Structure 1
Amino acid sequence: MPALMEDPSTRLPAPQTHTAAAPTLTPRQTTLPKAGDAGVTLYPITKGPSSLPQDLTAFLHSEFSAEIERGATYPMEQPMALDQFRDYWFGTFAVVAVLDEEGTAPGEGLREGRKWEDVCLGTFYIKPNYPGRCSHICNAGFMTTNAARGKGVGQVMGEAYLEFAPRLGYKYSVFNLVFANNPASIRIWEKLGFSVIGRVPKAARLANSEELVDALIFGRELGN
């Protein structure tokens, strides 16, 4: 059975706990210690891609397409069309992280017309990893934008994930494909309490390796 992250055409319905809790979630405010304690707000996206500015989804689509073309972190070989990306990333539940702006009221950071290449730091989604009686186990996909790399955004998004996922009713998290030659990602998940619960030898043909790369499966109980 395919997991969502590996098969963009598959969409599992969110469990009832997720559907009920999602509208109650509010933005999370924090700072980036590696960027002079710059303020950042992480906005839950609970009403699908149509609730986002079109220029923002277009920007994130271009960032994700570039990530796919680099061929080192996601299993897809070809970028998605914009409409497919919008549904794949924002169709269930997602979070977008943007820099705070002086004079902007809380909750207004996702307004139309912002210079997203400067202020959008990254995004992640949360989805069930399995259907039905196992739908309380979730997975997530993360993307940091080019402008945000090296500023600790991955850590901030990981911390937000550990807040939002249990509030959506999920009990356990599985990351299906963390490639073994991605030490930055591995460090973040280990620091946040994840551990390796499985390994798939020679799982991926990646652009940054002449050899087939193992995939690590990370897991963590949520809510503790």
Structure 2
Amino acid sequence: MIIRAAADEDWPHIFAIVQPILAAGETYAIDRDLEPEAVKAYWMMPAHSVFVAEIDHRIVGTYYLMANQRGGGAHVANCGYMVSPEARGQGVARSMCLHSLDTAQDRGFRAMQFNHVVSTNTRAVALWHALGFEVVGTLPKAFKHPTHGYVDSYVMFRSL
């Protein structure tokens, strides 16, 4: 697996991963019915450093890295990760998270925080725990899941 900075020509492949996940509405607190331009504006926004994961020259995952806050909170990183359905269970998310932790540390961040980990996303919660993140807060019924209704979200944190 190769993880590298995304290039402009990667966008169609990134869109093919990001758009269905956003449309499913199960893991990201963002509108489910975004037009393609809005999906690109969200994932590729200037504040995001975007990366892709490739297996056999095929993009199978993407993540962004950014400062979680500005000013006095700019030393804490934030990321979002997405993996194509056909690559799930192959360690792509784990590899991207490890890459993001190293990249964040190299860029001078002192910690990483995930602001809204949906509790029903049990694979992600377990992976983040395995990689040293702790739940530092529970947001009761803060996410409206399309099939489970209102569910908790977690704030997860890890020092670098």
Q: TM-score, normalised by structure 2?
A: 0.90
> Following superposition of structure 1 onto structure 2, how do residues 162-177 of structure 1 map, counting pairs within 5 Å?
162-177=101-116
The count of residues paired between Structure 1 and Structure 2 equals: 158
Q: Alignment RMSD, CA only?
A: 1.6
Q: Per the alignment, in what secondary structure is the counterpart of residue 68 of structure 1?
A: helix
Instruction: Tell me how far 1:62 sits from its aligned partner.
Output: 3.1
1:44 aligns with 2:15: no
Is 2:76 the counterpart of 1:137?
yes
Q: 1:187 aligns with which of 101, 116, 126?
A: 126
Q: CA deviation at 1:212?
A: 0.9
For 1:163 and 1:61, the matched residues in 2 are separated by 25
User: Contact 1:121–1:144 (CA<8 Å) still a contact in 2?
Assistant: yes
Give the structure 2 partner of residue 127 of structure 1: 66
Q: Which has the higher strand share?
A: 2
Report deviation, 1:129: 1.2
Q: How is 1:1-224 mapped onto 2 (pairs within 5 angstroms)?
A: 40-45=1-6, 51-53=7-9, 56-90=10-44, 91=46, 92-100=48-56, 119-209=58-148, 211-222=149-160
Q: Post-superposition shift, 1:191? A: 0.6
Structure 2 counterpart of 1:89, which letter?
W
Instruction: Give the match's secondary structure for 2:145.
Output: coil
User: Residues 76 and 111 of structure 2 are in contact (CA less than 8 Å); yes or no, is this contact kept in structure 1?
Assistant: yes
Question: Unpaired segments of 5 or more residues in structure 2?
Answer: none
Contact 1:44 1:94 in 2 (8 A): yes
Q: CA deviation at 1:94?
A: 1.5
Cα deviation for residue 202 of structure 1 reads: 0.5
- Asked if the contact 1:97/1:122 (under 8 Å) is kept, the reply is yes
Letter in 2 for 1:52: D
Q: CA deviation at 1:179?
A: 0.9
Identity of aligned residues (%): 27
SS in 2 for 1:212: strand
Q: TM-score, normalised by structure 1?
A: 0.66
Distance (whole Å) between structure 2 residues aligned to residue 132 and residue 81 of structure 1: 32
Looking at structure 2, the residues matched to 167 and 194 of structure 1 have their Cα atoms a distance apart, in angstroms, of: 19
Write the letter of the residue equivalent to 2:53: A
For structure 1, which runs of at least 5 residues remain unmatched after alignment? Answer: 1-39, 46-50, 102-118
CA contact (8 A) 2:119 2:152 kept: yes
**1:191-222 CA distance string (max 9 Å, x none):** 1000011010000111131x310001100001
